[in-house]
Amino acid sequence: MMKSSIVKRSIVIDGHKTSVSLEDAFWTVLKDIAHAECVAVSKIVADIDKKRKLGNLSSALRLFVLDRTRAGGLPIPRAPLRAFAGEGSQKSSAQTVSSLAPDAM
């Protein structure tokens, strides 16, 4: 069984302590965003918490990070292709691309 990469982290926002459960990749990019904007992570989290309408805070943070990376502001951390291909898969990325779009090669 694979160990979950989700880590529960405590953070103080607007004077109260709360926790969020995020994968390391999301947490790292969130910290990078805070550093780039010269603000504390807790400030970004508080702003997201105030603006969210649905869902939990952890999901809102993931969506925020996704939106920022899609906008081109930060690089997207890349996991090895094999992690997504399934147990025991040995296809190379070129084989995967050619099987998805044979005319693209």
Residue 38: give its domain's CATH number: 1.10.3990.20
**How many domains does the chain contain in total?**
1
For 29-53, what is each residue's pLDDT tens digit? Answer: 999 999 999 999 999 999 999 999 8
- H helices, E strands: number in the chain: 5, 2
In sequence order, what DSSP letters do the residues of 8-31 get, joined into one string? EEEEEETTEEEEEEEEHHHHHHHH
The pLDDT, as a whole number, for residue 75 is 54
For residue 49, being part of any structural domain is answered with yes
Q: Which domain holds residue 53?
A: 1-77
Q: Are 75 and 29 in contact (CB under 8 A)?
A: no
Q: Provide the 8-state DSSP code for 55.
A: S
Q: What pLDDT digit, counting tens, does each position of 68-101 carry?
A: 988 876 555 554 434 433 333 343 333 333 333 3
Global pTM value:
0.65
pLDDT at 12 over 60: yes
Does a structural domain hold residue 20?
yes
For residue 91, tell me if it sits in a domain.
no
